[in-house]
Amino acid sequence: METLAPERILGGRYRLRRELARGGMAAVWEAEDKVLTRRVAIKVLHPHLAGDDAFRTRFRREAVAAAKLAHPHIVTTYDTGRDGDFAYIVMELVEGTTLARLLKNDGPMPVAKVVDVGVQVADALACAHTHGVVHRDVKPANILLREDGHVKVADFGIAKAGMGGDLTRTGVVMGTAKYLSPEQVSDNPADAGSDIYALGIVLYEMLSGAPPFIGDTELSTAVARLTAAPGSLRNRRPDIPRSLEAVVLRCLARDPVARYRSAEELRASLLAVDSDNDDVTPPAGVSVAASASRVGRPHLLVGAVVTFLFLLMAAVVMSGSGGGESPSKGSRKGSLAAPAGALAAPKALAAHSFDPFGDDKVENQAAAGHVSDGDPNTAWKTSSYQDNFPKFKQGVGVYVDLGRNQKVRGVSVNATPGYTAEIFVADRPGTDLAGWGKTRSAGGTSTFDLGGVTGRYVLVWFTSLPQLEGGYRAEVSEIAIDAA
């Protein structure tokens, strides 16, 4: 039987470069797409699986379903095919590391980083569930982290293809036992609630360094969640906010009805984590196992300080007249979007660069958060172009996630004078400009009156840039959104 090696070309198009990872179902290779001259990742089924016609059909069907999920936090699926003994899926190549490798090397993560990763993964799951796709295998190995902190979730639907249905078969536990939901262990169908449970396990592991249920065997590990309660996170690590512990425990409720109703609701609760809230008790339906000891870790004080600063700045909003105002704790909702009538500098809201005409589809993504950090001395900067738009390409942009659908009345953009921009508002970010629908404003600068357009994502699309230092570029220090 033929084996794979570097320089092997699959499908007459994909030249293998090096093997990146290997699992029980497939190997992942870095490859070069000879047609589009770009680097890609290829998941190649092991030959004994690819030879199974039913398996190969399921594998391709799930790959096609995954390819329909266009989202900033989901690894893009480009192609699928077969070459001799090898069936494969071609995907976006993500530069960075896996959450599994990061946890293995560094142990527990700072609280603010855990919340950030959790929000991004929940956002990806919300998109998939909206399209009827359940991941079924959410685990650290399938969560990829780029160096700029951007998270991508991989392998949507592949677990379902591998098992022909669910992750259990004839009483034998399949999949990754540490992250299975109680219903999967009980041989019931997995659904969106199963993904929420698995993300709860991942959050628990990021905070404590280990998942809550570990047995001597995979079977005993899986069954433990049916008979035992997760241990208290704050007994293991006192700097964890009570509100964050409550979020994790609700995800881990044995009864799916007691969990979050959706990944979107979970995401909103993570954004609303309050380090000052000392009165939160475990949610209904969730019990906590007592811990034998409390172990203090001095170095975790740093994580607590970072979390406090993050949450303090997240609460900052600007009134419609530009004055400072902070929402009271009693009025805080499940989302950190601005209250009605407020012109919010969206510190707690995710910002993403948008460059559909660029090679990697992003532009200075590491600095995108500067449009919402409340600091006029920091900025998101476009690349410097030799020719102004649209001579070289149509434009470039940055968009803000409001956390939920809202009526957007206006947008204020503080950027280098001399630019022209348009505003788009959509329920979901488009992978290309057409995916954002029609523009909601005429080309302009500074302040844009939208009149109450409903949507969750607000894109500032630059159609021309000022000439600076020998090139055309813009610096955006702040984007404020009047939404309710």
Token digits of residue 410 = 């206006």
Q: What is the pLDDT of residue 61?
A: 78
Q: What is the pLDDT of residues 233-257, one digit of tens each?
A: 999 999 999 999 999 999 999 999 9
Partners of 357 in the β-ladder: none
**CB-based contacts of 31: which residues, under 8 Å, 6+ apart?**
10, 14, 15, 16, 17, 39, 40, 41, 42, 90
373 against 227, higher pLDDT: 227
Q: What is the pLDDT of residue 54?
A: 75
Percent share of the chain, pLDDT over 70: 80
Q: What is the pLDDT of residue 65?
A: 78
Task: Name the residues annotated as catalytic.
Answer: 137
8 against 403, higher pLDDT: 8
Q: What is the pLDDT of residue 186?
A: 84
Q: What is the pLDDT of residues 259-294, one digit of tens each?
A: 999 999 999 999 998 765 444 444 444 545 544 333
- Average confidence (pLDDT) over 32-36: 95
pLDDT above 60 (res 349): yes
Closest by Cα among 358, 275, 346 to 317:
346
Token digits of residue 214 = 């570990």
**CB-based contacts of 81: which residues, under 8 Å, 6+ apart?**
10, 11, 87, 88, 90
334, with CB counted inside 10 A (0-12, 13-18, 19+), is middle
**Residue given tokens 């929420």 in the structure block:** 196
Alpha carbons within 13 angstroms on the beta-carbon side of residue 368 total 24
Confidence of residue 157 (pLDDT cuts 50, 70, 90): low
**Considering the chain, what is the average pLDDT of its residues?**
79
360 against 384, higher pLDDT: 384
Q: What is the pLDDT of residue 1?
A: 60
Percent share of the chain, pLDDT over 90: 45
Q: What is the pLDDT of residue 373?
A: 77
pLDDT above 70 (res 455): yes
Q: What is the pLDDT of residue 261?
A: 93
Q: What is the pLDDT of residue 367?
A: 87
Q: What is the pLDDT of residue 258?
A: 93
pLDDT above 70 (res 158): no
Q: What is the pLDDT of residue 400?
A: 93
Alpha carbons within 13 angstroms on the beta-carbon side of residue 251 total 29
Q: What is the pLDDT of residue 21?
A: 86
Confidence of residue 336 (pLDDT cuts 50, 70, 90): very low
Q: What is the CATH number of domain 9-92?
A: 3.30.200.20
pLDDT above 60 (res 149): yes
Computed on alpha carbons and rounded to an integer, the radius of gyration of the chain in Å comes to 23
- Average confidence (pLDDT) over 137-148: 93
Confidence of residue 379 (pLDDT cuts 50, 70, 90): confident
Q: What is the pLDDT of residues 203-223, one digit of tens each?
A: 999 999 999 998 887 778 888
pLDDT above 70 (res 483): yes
- Average confidence (pLDDT) over 362-368: 89
Q: What is the pLDDT of residues 220-232, one digit of tens each?
A: 888 889 888 898 8
Q: What is the pLDDT of residue 276?
A: 54
Q: What is the pLDDT of residue 312?
A: 32
Partners of 245 in the β-ladder: none
- Average confidence (pLDDT) over 365-387: 84
CA triple 283-284-285, angle to 5 deg? 115
Token digits of residue 306 = 């970072």
- The highest-level CATH class for domain 97-310 is mainly alpha
Q: What is the pLDDT of residue 456?
A: 94
Q: What is the pLDDT of residue 414?
A: 85
Among the ranges given (111-125, 150-164, 296-310, 438-452), the one the predictor scored with the smallest mean pLDDT: 296-310
pLDDT above 90 (res 447): no
> Residue ranges of the domains in the chain?
9-92, 97-310, 324-483
Name the CATH code of domain 324-483 (choices 3.60.110.10, 2.60.120.260, 3.30.420.10, 1.10.10.10).
Answer: 2.60.120.260
- Average confidence (pLDDT) over 316-345: 32
Cis peptide before 390 (omega within 30 of 0): yes
Q: What is the pLDDT of residue 239?
A: 92
- Average confidence (pLDDT) over 381-394: 84
Q: What is the pLDDT of residue 332?
A: 33
pLDDT above 90 (res 109): yes
Q: What is the pLDDT of residue 305?
A: 30
Alpha carbons within 13 angstroms on the beta-carbon side of residue 1 total 8
Q: What is the pLDDT of residue 174?
A: 42
Token digits of residue 59 = 């594998």
